[in-house]
Amino acid sequence: MRQDTWHPADFVKYEALGNNYVVVDPRYAAFAPLPENVRRVCDRNRGLGADGLLYGPLPAADGFRLLTFNADGSECGGSGNGLRIFAWYLRESGHTEADVMTLRTPSGTSTATIVDADSGVVRVGLGTARPDSGAVGARGPARTMLREPLDAAGRRWEAGCVRLGSPHCVLPLADAPADAGLARRVGAAVSSHDLFPDRINVELLHVTDRENLSIEVFERVAGHVPASGSGAAAAAYVAHARGLSGPRVTVHMPGGRVTVDIGEDGAVSLTGEVGPVLRGHWAPRLARSLSG
Residue set of the binding site: 19, 70, 80-81, 201, 219-220, 229-230
The Cα–Cα gap between 120 and 184 comes to 31
Any alpha helices (H) in 2-114, and if so which ranges?
Answer: 35-42, 80-92
User: Nearest to residue 88, comparing CAs of 2, 14, 11, 22?
Assistant: 14
Residues belonging to the chain:
292
Strands 166-172 and 201-209: parallel
d(CA 256, CA 120): 14
Residue 174: CB atoms within 10 Å:
6
CA distance linking residue 178 with residue 253, whole number of Å: 10
Binding residues for substrate, by number, are 19, 70, 80-81, 201, 219-220, 229-230
